[in-house]
Amino acid sequence: MANTISEQPALKAADGRLEGMAHSEVHYFNRFAVKAGAKHVIGVDFSTIIEKAKEIVAVNGMSDKITLLQGKMEEVQLPFPQVDIIISEWMGYFLLYESMLDTVLWARDRYLKKDGLIFPDKATIFLAGIEDGEYKDEKIGFWDNVYGFDYSPLKHTALTEPLVDTVELKAVVTDPSPVLTLDLYTVQPADLAFSLPYSLSVRRTDYIHALIAWFDIEFSACHKPVRFSTGPHTKYTHWKQTVFYLRDVLTVEAGEQVKGSLSCQPNERNRRDLDIGIEYKLETDDPHRMAQGRGDYKM
């Protein structure tokens, strides 16, 4: 069986031994990897929690199968030149916010043997439009009158801040649109800055106050492929959904389209933060309902 890295990766050494690495959930992934049959697991974590993880490994009798290293993945020295598998729970809000994907890609290029495996190995970002007038008034309209004072200059700031929250399925007005799919075997760090089109088909006559984003994750290398979603149509996850309020309220009718583009790039000052842009245009034959615009957001 293979060696695994907890960053969370699992890898196999070039001489035929199997190794692996783990990162943030090092204290969980490494023991699960051993239980699943990994010959050796390398867990990497920057935080001091790794000291407790070492104690847990010892009391579970796994010290001969798990090596735990404290530090940054890019700076530590692994005990094996290559690994078979990389396992990492790298996803953040909106998939990419504060994510560890750059580190996983570095580990892939440095340590993963040819034909090695990555878990998970695919991720897709989706968009949809929602009706959310009541909460938008509460969050954005609130600044029009704060205890009798006009704080409207802060409305612009409020609009630039995406909201991470749980969205009820009944609020979704459009079909979802897949915007970006990442294949972790081939994606490069430069690909994480993108501008891609989307097209949303309106399901019912209603209003659109915001667009929401979520992601699906796939483990395609499993014996039986495993997939889970963080969307509003499925069970709750701690990633929830990311809500981007629009400046306009779109009055839409069933069968119409909202088209535009989603752009995203790491912030210049902090690469784990994101600068996000959303362009939108309601395609309708009714000139009174035509609307288009752009929102710029910071996470």
Q: Which of 25, 89, 131, 256 is catalytic?
A: 89
75 is catalytic: no
Whole-number pLDDT of residue 27: 59
Whole-number pLDDT of residue 181: 98
Q: One-letter amino acid identity for 31? A: R
Q: List pLDDT tens digits, range 65-74.
A: 999 999 999 9
Whole-number pLDDT of residue 33: 85
- In whole angstroms, give the CA distance from residue 1 to residue 238: 32
Q: Are strands 18-23 and 4-7 parallel, antiparallel or unpaired?
A: parallel
> What tens-digit pLDDT sequence spans the chain (299 residues)?
455 555 543 343 333 344 444 444 555 788 888 888 889 999 898 888 888 889 989 999 988 999 999 999 999 999 999 999 999 999 999 999 988 899 999 999 999 999 999 999 999 999 999 999 888 877 887 888 888 888 888 888 888 999 999 999 999 999 999 999 999 999 999 999 999 999 999 999 999 999 999 999 999 988 888 999 999 999 999 999 999 999 999 999 999 999 999 999 999 888 889 999 999 999 999 999 999 999 999 99
pTM: 0.87
In this structure, the chain runs to a length of 299
Whole-number pLDDT of residue 142: 81
268 is catalytic: no
Report helix, strand or coil for 179.
strand
Q: One-letter amino acid identity for 232? A: P
Beta-carbon count within 10 A of 184 CB:
21
Q: List pLDDT tens digits, range 110-157.
A: 999 999 999 999 999 999 999 998 888 778 878 888 888 888 888 888
Residues 176 and 148 sit within 8 Å (Cβ to Cβ) = no
Whole-number pLDDT of residue 150: 87
